[in-house]
Amino acid sequence: MSDARGPNETSTDGAQPGGSEGPGYTTPQAAIEESTPEKVAYVMGLYVGTDVDAPDFLGVVDVDPDSDTYTEVIDRVEMPNRGDELHHFGWNACSSSCHTEGLERRHLVIPGQRSSRIHIVDTNDRRNPELTKVIEPEEVFEHDLSAPHTVHCIPDGNILISMLGDRDGDLPGGFLALDEDFEVEGRWEPPGEIEMNYDYWYQPRHDVMVSSEWAAPKTYYPGFDLDDVEAGNYGQRIHVWDWEDRTVEQTLDLGEEGLIPLEVRFLHSPEATHGYVGAALSSNVFHFYDAGDEWRAESVIDVDAREHEGWEMPVPGLVTDLLVSMDDRYLFFSNWLHGDVRMYDISDPSNPRLADRIWAGGHFGDPAPVQNRELAGGPQMLQLSLDGERLYWTTSLFSSWDNQFYPEEAERGSVMLKADVNPRRGTMQLDEEFLVDFGELPTGPARAHEIRWPDGDCTSDVWQ
């Protein structure tokens, strides 16, 4: 992935690299073979819940080891308002539209979790992107929705965003659709199909989408309270949708082993009917799959809670993010509270095998500093290079939860770390030379959250 236009660029004869007519790659294997190493990363940066009076921003991080500004935040696109809590974000187009002529993966769609404001950023100049449009919260509230979360482009060039609450921050949530000009189209699904919402992933070849559950915004905004778990205010179900009809066909209750199911990942092959969801609080990873006459979900990885001095209860790993490598061979996930990143061989999707893990920060991790920098939090949002050889992560989860479990994060800021991955051997090694310090920014220490690559990545690209 060079800083010049990448594989999405239309050549002078109008043809796209790899034979595609639109953005992205024709297949996951083409993404592996045709991509070049990432040179910049887009990273959410935020000041919500800190003493710094500044707006959240999109950070441009130099990850080119041959660059003079390697590991530095080389540009920041500040949002026009304070208090958005930028969280997850996505592209206007991805490989799902690779045969749609005229589309380009160029604009980032960046929601504010707390504000419900949606920002559109043009990345035509990859190192100096520009904010071009803001959808104000009132336009979202008109559809009785709030708290935007996961952004996916869909094959026709439109954009779909999961919404976690109604206009008042209560349940139910739903989905908001934008058109390719970033105008709000309205609700995507009939209201009332689900109560709770969080992440989702679709597999168009099988006409299916799977969504997960966090809670009502009013429940998780202030921080984590165990009483809310006992009151049933957090989710434990996933929903299997008919993608075309936009209706829920089946709901799977994961039970007490599936408390707070967050990130949803299908395998990348468009033929696959296997996927995973991480249950954060119960710290299990569930494998979901099409059994022919119905969808099923089974817990295939369990992270044991651990005793810790100063905690009244055993500390769960808190599986807060997971991803699947582009070749569908490995599953990676983070245990934010324990402090480790794990790598599993999923050649047999029903029987993941632990391949390797790294400790870095967290309540049980190696306290050793990286580049003389003390680590304030545990591994959280992950992103893997398309060739599967470099795994990156940041350390902030959500401002109020950070302040509860890692209060130092607000004072020191987040870090972005990297591990070198050997896919052939199934091993990882922490890169001791790589550190992006969000605590050393001109405006003050910032939190860092989700990571995206200009040419697509393992947590956003879908194939038809």
Q: What's the rounded Cα separation, in Å, for the pair 130 and 447? A: 21
Q: What is the pTM of this model?
A: 0.95
pLDDT in tens, 99-131: 888 899 999 999 999 999 999 999 999 999 999
Residue 198 belongs to a domain: yes
In angstroms, the CA 98 to CA 101 distance is: 8
| 33 membership: H or E segment, kind and range | helix 28-34
Residues 454, 204: Cα–Cα separation, whole Å: 23
Is residue 58 within 8 Å of 46, Cβ to Cβ?
Answer: no
Query: Does residue 3 belong to any structural domain of this protein?
Result: no
What is the domain-level CATH number for residue 263? 2.130.10.10
Q: Which two tokens stand for residue 394?
A: 């940041």
Report the number of distinct structural domains present in the chain: 1
CB 370 within 8 A of CB 431: no
Range of the domain at 235: 28-452
Name the token pair of 321. Answer: 């993010």
Question: What does the pLDDT read at residue 376?
Answer: 85
DSSP states of 291-322? -SSSEEEEEEEEPPPB--TT-SSPBP--EEEE
Q: With respect to residue 458, please indicate whether it lies within any of the assigned structural domains.
A: no
| Burial zone of 372 (CB within 10 Å; 0-12 exposed, 13-18 middle, 19+ buried) | exposed
Distance CA 336, CA 319 (A): 6
Identify whether 340 is part of a domain.
Answer: yes
**Closest C-alpha to 416, from 396, 398, 436, 402:** 436
Q: Looking at the domain assignment, is residue 413 inside a domain?
A: yes
* Each residue's pLDDT tens digit, 49-92: 999 999 999 999 999 999 999 999 999 999 999 999 999 999 99
Strands (E), 84-215: 90-91, 107-111, 118-122, 130-135, 146-153, 159-165, 174-178, 184-187, 200-203, 208-211
pLDDT by 10-residue block (mean), the chain, 464 residues: 38 45 93 96 98 98 98 98 98 93 95 98 98 98 98 93 98 98 97 96 97 98 97 98 98 98 98 98 98 98 95 95 98 98 98 97 87 94 98 98 96 97 98 97 97 96 95
Tokens of 363: 């309540």
Q: Is 2 inside a domain boundary?
A: no
